[in-house]
Amino acid sequence: MPETESGPEPWEYVLYIPNDPRAVPICRRTLRQILTAHGLPHLAEAAELLVTELVTNAVQHTKGPAAIRLRAEGTTLRIGVWDADPTPPRPSRHTTPESETGRGLTLVRDCADTWGWVQQRDTRNIVGTGKYIWCELTSAA
């Protein structure tokens, strides 16, 4: 893995996905391969949970395509998912650990080191207008 004087060289991948539930396991497998290739397999389990929740939300709650962006810089892995729906994400307040739906953003909030979202109005951002939900995991590498 290439390194600079300050540590590993930053890297980024973008995967464009259709609005199809089969995209979720494809994103998980792709994420694991990328993390393994970059020497970060210890982040795979948490990162897979996060990407599963974000991509599932994009597929279930929107009608258009989506994209996943993975970026590592220093000790931080940022996972972001773009979808075409500009509606702000809202973690559900009425879920329990036994709930089968509505827990995705709550899991993201609880498992990531930080998370957030931005409305995308500029068509130069990943794919186009909509929203971009991101979360970060920090590794001691």
Q: For 76-126, what is each residue's pLDDT tens digit?
A: 999 999 998 988 887 666 655 565 555 678 889 889 999 999 987 765 555
Rounded to whole angstroms, the Cα distance separating 62 from 32 reads 25
pLDDT score of 1: 55
What pTM does this model have?
0.82
- Whether residue 66 has pLDDT greater than 70: yes
How many CB atoms are closer than 10 A to CB 91?
A: 15
